[in-house]
Structure 1
Amino acid sequence: MNGVLSRMGLRRMSARDADAPGRVASPLELLFDLVFVVAISQASSNLHHLISAGEVGQGVLSYLMVFFAVWWAWMNFTWFASAFDTDDWLYRVMTIVQMGGVLVLAAGVHDAMVEFDYTVVTFGYVIMRLAMVGQWARLAASDPASRGTAVRFAVGIAGVQVLWVARLALPETWQLWTFFLLMALEICVPIVAEARGRTPWHPHHIAERFGLFTLLLLGESLLASSNALIDALAAGEHLADLLWLAASGLVITAAIWWIYYAREQHEALSNARRGFAFGYPHYAIFAAVGAVSAGVEVEIDKVTGQTEVSDAVAGLALTLPVAVFLLVVWAVLLRRQIARSVSAVVVAAVLVAVAAGLLPAGEYVVAALVLTAVVVALEVDGARRVRGGVGDRVG
C-alpha cells in the first residue's frame, strides 16, 4: 500500500504526533484562512448596512446564521488538519476545493442576509463540508486505528449536508427554524464521532491557529478605523468626531488583541472535553470580533449623518460586540489564570461597555478606555505573578 501511494506522490494519512515540538501553522493553512476573510468581510459589511438601514434584528440574526457556516467549516478543517495533515498533492487539492466553497458562500452572503435567500450560501457550505467528508473517508481507508472515528465523522457530516440541501425546498419560515435544528446536528457530529476515540490534535498548534484567525478578524476592525480617518480627511466635515472614532477604533482593536493573547492558551486544551470547551465558545468570540468592524462603520454613518438609527442602536452596534468578546474570553481563556480581583475588573468592564452604548455621544471613547483598563489590570496581574507575589486567589 505504501509503495502504491508513494508512486502516486501520496503519503499514508494517519494520526500525527500530538506532542511534536515546534508545530506551527502551514502555508496552506494560512492561505485557507485568507479565503475565509472574504466571506467574513461580506458578512460584516452587510451587518453594517442592515443596522444603518434600521433593520437591526434582521441584520444581527442573519449575521449570526451566516457566521455559523463560516466558523463551523473553518473550525472543522482546523482540528482535522492539526491531527491528520499530510500536505501531499491530494490533501492540498481537497483543501483548495474547500476554499472554492468559501468563495461560493461569500458570493451568496448578500442575498442570504438581505433577502433571506440561502441557496448560494448553502451550496457553498455543502461544497466545503463534502470536501471534509472526502478527507475523513481517506483517513478511514488509510488508518485502521482511526477508522471508527473517521467513518462516524464522514457519515455524520454527509447526512447533515443532505438535510441542508433538502431544507431549501421548505417554505421560508420553515427554513429559518430548521436552520437551528441542523446547526445543532452539526455541532453534535464531533461529539458523537469522538465519543469512543479522540482525534490527536496538537494543543499548541490549535491555540496558534485560533489566535491567527482572531488576527485576521481584527484586520477588519483596522480597516473600519482607517475608513473613519480617510472619510475625515476627504470630507473635511465632522473632522474631530471622526478622528476620535478612528483613534478609539485603533485602541479597541489593539486592546482586543492584547486581551486575547494575555495568557497562554494551549493549557486549556489538555483533553477532549476541554477541547470542546475551548473550540465551541470561539463562535461567540470570532463573531463578536468580526462585528466590531461593522459597529465602527455604523458609528461613522451616525457621525456623518448617513443613518437615522438612534444613538443607542449606533452605540450598541459597537459596544455590545466588545462586551460579548470580553465576557466570553474571560470565561473561556482567562478566568482560571487571573486573580479574582482582575476577574471583577473584567466583569465590571463588560457591564460598563454595555451601558456605554446607551450614551448619547462618546461611547466609542468609553469602550476604548474600558478595554484599556482591562489590559492594565491583566498586565499588573501578570507582573505580580512574575515577581512571585501571593496576592489574592485565582478565580
Structure 2
Amino acid sequence: MPPEPRFRLVPMRPRDPHEKGRTASTLELFFDLVFVVAVSIAAQQLHHALTDGQVRDGIVNYAIVFFGIWWAWMNFTWFATSFDTDDWLYRVLTIVQMGGVLVLASGIGPAFTDHNYTVLVLAYVVMRLALVTQWLRASRSAGPSRRATLIYAAGVSLVQALWLAALLLPPGWFAAALVVLVAAELAVPVVAERTGSTPWHPHHITERYGLFTLIVLGESLLGSANAIIEAVHDIGELGSLVAIAALALIATAALWWIYFWPPHHHAISSFSRSLAYGYGHYFIFAAAGALSAGIEVEIDLLTGHSQLRSPWAAFAYTIPITVFVLGIWALALRPHADHLINALVPLAGLLVLIDPLIPLPFASTAVILAAVVAMLVWRRPIDKPTT
C-alpha cells in the first residue's frame, strides 16, 4: 500500500488533457447549483427594470452583474480542468466560492435599484481570493505550469485589491473604474497563458459550458411556466398567454438544439480559439438568461403590467435570441456547417431580430427557429478539427 498523503491532500499536479472518459464531477455539478440562484435573480431584476421602462439602466446593470456571475464560474471551470484533485481542501475552497456566489446573489437587487455594488463586489472578491488560494496550492506541484499558476495568483490578487479600492471612489468614478477593472480581469488569463501555460481537457471544458447553457436556458422554461400560471388567473388573455407559453418552449428547445448541434471540443484546439470560445460565451450565456426576462416582459404586456409597449416589448426577447444564435454560430457552428447552413443560420438570427415589426412576432420567431432546427436535422455537421 502506498503511504497516505500528508494531511490527506493530493499533490495538485496538472491533469492529463487527453485523459479518457473525463467528465464533470459531482462537485462541479453541485457548484453549478448556486449559479442557478444568481442567474435567476439577475434575470428577474432585468425583467422588472424593463417592465418599469428603465431599459438602459436595466441592460447596463444586467451586463455588470452577469459579468461577475460568468467570470467566477468560468475561472473555476478552467482551473478545475487543469488541477482538480477532489480532496477535502479542494472541496472546502470550492464551497467557500459557492458561499460567495450566494452572497453575490443577495447584492444583485441593490445593484439594480440603488446602483449600490458594495455587497456584489465584496462577495465577488471572496470568490476570487478562494481561487487565488487554489492557484497558490497548484503552484507547488505544477511543474511546467508553475509560472502560469503564480501569474494567475498574483494577477487575480492585484485586481481584487483594486476592486476593494474602487468601492471608496465617488459613484461617477466607480463607473469608469469598473470598465478598467473588467479589462484587467480579462487580461490576467491572457498574460498567464502566454507567459506560461496550463493544460485543458477539450471534452471536459465543452461539457461544462454545455451544462451552464442548460442552466441559463432553464430560466426561459420558467418563463413559459409563468405564462401558464398567469393564464389560469387571467381568463381574458387565456389564449394569448397559453400561446406565449407554448412558443417560449419551442424557442427554448430550438436554441438548445442549435447549441448542441456542432462538436464543440474542436473549437478550443488552440489558445487563441479557446480564448474566443471562453470569452465569447459571455454573450451566449447572458443572452440566454435575458431571454427569460423578455418572456416575462411579454407576459406583463398582455396582463397590463408593463410600461414597455409594443413593439418595443418584443425586442426584449428577440434581441437575446439573435445574440444567442449569432454567437453560437460564430464560435462553434460555422466551422462544422456547409455553405447552406452558414447562410441560413445568421439570416434566421437577423430575421428574428426584426420580428417585432411583423404581426404576431413571437409566432414568427418560433417558426423561424423551428425551420433552422429542421435544416440542422437534414444537414449533418462536418466533424473536422478547426485551425
- TM-score (ref. length: structure 2): 0.96
- Number of the residue aligned with 2:102: 103
The question of whether the paired residues in 1 share the 8 Å contact of 2:322 and 2:353 is answered with: yes
The question of whether the paired residues in 2 share the 8 Å contact of 1:318 and 1:357 is answered with: no
- Number of the residue aligned with 2:183: 184
3-state secondary structure, aligned to 1:87:
coil
- Number of the residue aligned with 2:200: 201
Q: Provide the C-alpha distance between the structure 2 equivalents of 1:114 and 1:369, rounded to a whole number of angstroms.
A: 37
Once the two structures are superposed, the pairs formed by residues 46-195 of structure 1 within 5 Å of their partners are 46-195=45-194
- Number of the residue aligned with 2:300: 301
Q: Provide the C-alpha distance between the structure 1 equivalents of 2:33 and 2:170, rounded to a whole number of angstroms.
A: 35
Q: For structure 2, which runs of at least 5 residues remain unmatched after alignment? A: none
Displacement of 1:256 in angstroms is 0.7
- Number of the residue aligned with 2:32: 33
Displacement of 1:308 in angstroms is 2.4
- 1:364 corresponds, among 348, 362, 365, to 362
The question of whether the paired residues in 2 share the 8 Å contact of 1:319 and 1:353 is answered with: yes
The question of whether the paired residues in 1 share the 8 Å contact of 2:132 and 2:153 is answered with: yes
Displacement of 1:180 in angstroms is 1.1
> Which is worse superposed, 86-95 or 299-308?
299-308
Q: Provide the C-alpha distance between the structure 1 equivalents of 2:126 and 2:35, rounded to a whole number of angstroms.
A: 14
Q: Provide the C-alpha distance between the structure 2 equivalents of 1:225 and 1:342, rounded to a whole number of angstroms.
A: 29
Displacement of 1:42 in angstroms is 0.7
The question of whether the paired residues in 2 share the 8 Å contact of 1:338 and 1:378 is answered with: no
Q: Provide the C-alpha distance between the structure 2 equivalents of 1:181 and 1:357, rounded to a whole number of angstroms.
A: 36
3-state secondary structure, aligned to 1:220:
helix
The question of whether the paired residues in 1 share the 8 Å contact of 2:82 and 2:201 is answered with: yes
3-state secondary structure, aligned to 2:208:
helix
- Number of the residue aligned with 1:390: none
Amino acid at match of 1:362: L
Runs of 4 or more consecutive aligned structure 1 residues displaced over 4 Å after TM superposition: none
- 2:378 corresponds, among 377, 380, 384, to 380
Displacement of 1:33 in angstroms is 0.6
Displacement of 1:176 in angstroms is 1.1
Q: Provide the C-alpha distance between the structure 2 equivalents of 1:127 and 1:237, rounded to a whole number of angstroms.
A: 49
Displacement of 1:237 in angstroms is 2.4
> Which is worse superposed, 235-244 or 186-195?
235-244
Q: Provide the C-alpha distance between the structure 2 equivalents of 1:276 and 1:121, rounded to a whole number of angstroms.
A: 26
Amino acid at match of 2:371: A
Amino acid at match of 1:176: A
CA RMSD of aligned residues (A): 1.5
Displacement of 1:61 in angstroms is 0.6
3-state secondary structure, aligned to 2:305:
coil
Q: Provide the C-alpha distance between the structure 2 equivalents of 1:371 and 1:46, rounded to a whole number of angstroms.
A: 27
The question of whether the paired residues in 2 share the 8 Å contact of 1:42 and 1:106 is answered with: yes
- Number of the residue aligned with 1:389: none
The question of whether the paired residues in 1 share the 8 Å contact of 2:17 and 2:201 is answered with: yes
The superposition leaves residues 131-164 of structure 1 with CA deviations (integer Å, 9 ceiling, x where unpaired) of 1100000011233332211110000000000111
Q: Provide the C-alpha distance between the structure 1 equivalents of 2:176 and 2:309, rounded to a whole number of angstroms.
A: 30
The superposition leaves residues 27-54 of structure 1 with CA deviations (integer Å, 9 ceiling, x where unpaired) of 0000111101111111000000000000
Displacement of 1:198 in angstroms is 2.1
Displacement of 1:309 in angstroms is 1.2
- Aligned pair 1:287/2:273, yes or no? no
- TM-score (ref. length: structure 1): 0.94
Q: Provide the C-alpha distance between the structure 1 equivalents of 2:183 and 2:106, rounded to a whole number of angstroms.
A: 25
Q: Provide the C-alpha distance between the structure 2 equivalents of 1:318 and 1:179, rounded to a whole number of angstroms.
A: 27
Amino acid at match of 2:264: Q
The superposition leaves residues 227-246 of structure 1 with CA deviations (integer Å, 9 ceiling, x where unpaired) of 00111023322001001100
The superposition leaves residues 200-225 of structure 1 with CA deviations (integer Å, 9 ceiling, x where unpaired) of 11000001000000001111110110
Displacement of 1:281 in angstroms is 0.2
